[in-house]
Homo-oligomer: A and B are copies of this chain.
Amino acid sequence: MSAKKSIAISGAGLVGSLAAIYLRKRGYDVTVFERRHDMRRSGAEGGRSINLALSNRGIRALEEVGLADELKKVAIPMHGRMMHDKQGKLNSFAYGKEGQFINSVSRSGLNIVLMNEAERIGVQFRFDQRIQKVDFVKTQLFVEGKSGESFDLIIGADGAFSAVRGSFQFTDRFDYEQNYIDHGYKELHIPPGANGSFQLEKNYLHIWPRESFMMIALPNPDGSFTCTLFFPFDGNPSFDVLKTNADVEKFFEETFPDARKLMPTLLEDFNTNPTSSLVTIKCYPWVRNNTLLIGDAAHGIVPFYGQGMNAGFEDCRILNDLLSQHNDNWTTVLPEFQQLRKPDADAIAQLALDNFIEMRDLVADADFLLRKKIEGKLYELFPDKWIPLYPMVTFMDNMRYSDALRTGQKQKLIMDEVMKTPNLENTWQQLNFPAIVNQLTAAS
């Protein structure tokens, strides 16, 4: 197959727009089809702008397309977790070493930067285009109310409920899973204080861990925080049983008293903002003929590792790398991309599910915090040999998610044994740290 000339991308979201930039820079004619209005003209549609955690894997891709500096200016570094207990007592925990942090960024702000850049370099955007189906054999895209349009390549970057993937589902031997967790989420709001000040510590991701559920908050540049309550749909407590304003009021005052004081619009937000569900999506293959799925369309994950966007951006970077390696020979690149990337997509899906339990429950557990402290010490002493799971996933943009998962599993087994040491809380600094690290290298 010769190099593709024309590429259609479904989805002008974060991943679709970044893919468009990468591919336009390689010289392709790129057209992006978006179901929604142009968010730059009708900002209101998506509702309140929400924030996302941008970390090294995502930043690396933005650096490659020359946008990292612009985005770092509006990003707010978060150096660690700040846990809030029921008495409002705070307990913070760094994500990695000095200088390692994740970034709170506005989803819509980032998306607008990407769309503007894509358009600047010659990508065409077509909005209000509802994709009906793909003809894989003819590489044709069918938009509602129009006849099919032919391209050399079609990329589905249209998210967890991808229309392009819908056509994959009508093909034989397409493995597909969508699995919802028992929790939904609702966004809530902490406004800025006087003169745009931050009412919580600015440079943290705040967590109110409550075992079976949690609330988190990320800072925004205007001094506000966007809170997200992750809460069961059914049972007690749950969204189902918080029926009246009095129920909501009482629940927040008892459960999140310090946050409640900072949420003057709690009841309005709770009643107005939707309760959304959380799904993991897996499928395979990601390629049919000349059509490819990337990002959430190929691997939708729950948000608890803050890696959804980062994984999608990494897809774009890896696809671009393979194109460079193989002189834009898509016949080679497409199968190689899916084979390489599928285990990593499965790994981050698992890590994201596991991390919900860590965030909502374990971070409030003394044993768990001691374990983290010991791992932090190992990381400090042997920064190349014992990198804890969170920094491997979040900061090591050269490490595959699947390798991080595997190494993390080995570390867990070793640490399970270490944690059996009697009186560890008082003696942990006397542990034989080199011997612990040697177990990991021996196991590899």
Query: Residues of A with Cβ closer than 8 Å to B?
Result: 172-180, 233, 277
CA distance A26 to B277 in the complex (A): 39
Contacts of A179 in B (CB 8 A): 175, 177
Shortest beta-carbon distance, A342 to chain B, in Å?
14
CA distance A180 to B283 in the complex (A): 11
CA distance A402 to B184 in the complex (A): 30
Q: Is the CB of B177 within 8 A of A173?
A: no
Chain A interface mostly helix, strand, loop or mixed?
Answer: strand
Shortest beta-carbon distance, A159 to chain B, in Å?
15
Q: Is the CB of B176 within 8 A of A177?
A: yes
Q: With contacts A172-B277, A277-B172 known, is A177 near B180, CB below 8 A?
A: no
Contacts of A175 in B (CB 8 A): 178-180
User: This chain: how many copies in the complex?
Assistant: 2
CA distance A177 to B169 in the complex (A): 11
CA distance A336 to B202 in the complex (A): 50
Contacts of A173 in B (CB 8 A): 180, 233, 277
Contacts of A176 in B (CB 8 A): 176-178
What are 16 A-B interface contacts by the 8 Å CB criterion? A172-B180, A172-B277, A173-B180, A173-B233, A173-B277, A174-B178, A174-B180, A175-B178, A175-B179, A175-B180, A176-B176, A176-B177, A176-B178, A177-B177, A177-B178, A177-B179
CA distance A36 to B318 in the complex (A): 46
What is the chain B residue whose CB lies nearest that of A177?
A: B177
What is the chain B residue whose CB lies nearest that of A278?
A: B173
Contacts of A180 in B (CB 8 A): 172-175
Instruction: Add 11 more A-B contacts to A173-B277, A174-B180, A175-B180 (CB < 8 A).
Output: A172-B277, A173-B180, A173-B233, A174-B178, A175-B179, A176-B176, A176-B177, A176-B178, A177-B177, A177-B178, A177-B179
CA distance A178 to B176 in the complex (A): 5
CA distance A175 to B278 in the complex (A): 11
What is the chain B residue whose CB lies nearest that of A172?
A: B277
What is the chain B residue whose CB lies nearest that of A161?
A: B170
CA distance A180 to B168 in the complex (A): 14
What is the chain B residue whose CB lies nearest that of A233?
A: B173
CA distance A173 to B176 in the complex (A): 15
Shortest beta-carbon distance, A205 to chain B, in Å?
27
CA distance A176 to B279 in the complex (A): 11
CA distance A173 to B239 in the complex (A): 15
CA distance A285 to B233 in the complex (A): 15
What is the chain B residue whose CB lies nearest that of A180?
A: B173
CA distance A180 to B284 in the complex (A): 10
Contacts of A172 in B (CB 8 A): 180, 277
What is the chain B residue whose CB lies nearest that of A275?
A: B172
CA distance A233 to B172 in the complex (A): 12
Shortest beta-carbon distance, A136 to chain B, in Å?
17
Shortest beta-carbon distance, A301 to chain B, in Å?
15
Contacts of A177 in B (CB 8 A): 176-179
CA distance A177 to B284 in the complex (A): 12
CA distance A177 to B176 in the complex (A): 6
Contacts of A178 in B (CB 8 A): 174-177
CA distance A176 to B175 in the complex (A): 11
Shortest beta-carbon distance, A297 to chain B, in Å?
16
Contacts of A233 in B (CB 8 A): 173
